[in-house]
Chains A and B, each alone.
Chain A
């Protein structure tokens, strides 16, 4: 079974509007962390936001927020007030097993295009 699932086709959003990028995950470990990364066309991987499985509140970082629904095993990324520079691939990733494990498992990514 896929550990991280990102099934949305290419996403389009109008500049200044909000957009939600979906991510579901699969783990039986009670301790895990969820990450979102942005990969623009230049290729680098940019860390956006992190959510721990025991965190009580949804993570926020500037225009990025994570809609964490533990029972549904979903960790959707919400980007508010989209900008043209947000056009990129977005990857959801998970680290299982708490701090004893460090490797990340990535989804296949979602392409986001912001229209002017």
Chain B
């Protein structure tokens, strides 16, 4: 009964490189959310996706960040040309339906930009 899986757990990139973060939701969940947690802060919403659709991207930076949740395979959060300010923990959550009372979180990916 696997929960939300995220990989890698830790990712180190140099400035200007690309970072790809993967999230496999709980089996049967078709709703995925990405959040970012800066040091000493709470989580900040980035994007909400259903299979093949972006529902709400109001928290995504306008440039360099993109997300997808294809019909098959994990959801991907992609950060192009990373900068030091992108260093954070990125969490994925899933739920079985829209507006559910629970969002199950993955363990997070800790991105460090050198």
Binding site for B on A (CB under 8 A): 4, 33, 35, 37, 42-47, 50, 52, 91, 93, 95, 98-109
A-B contact count (CB 8 A): 72
Contacts of A101 in B (CB 8 A): 56, 99
Contacts of B41 in A (CB 8 A): 108-109
A103 contact from B48, B105, B107, Cβ within 8 A: B48
A102 contact from B31, B43, B106, Cβ within 8 A: B31
Determine whether the beta carbon of B99 is less than 8 Å from that of A47.
no
Contacts of A42 in B (CB 8 A): 107
Determine whether B63 belongs to the interface, using a CB cutoff of 8 Å to chain A: no
Determine whether the beta carbon of A103 is less than 8 Å from that of B43.
no
Determine whether the beta carbon of B56 is less than 8 Å from that of A103.
yes
Determine whether the beta carbon of B105 is less than 8 Å from that of A45.
yes
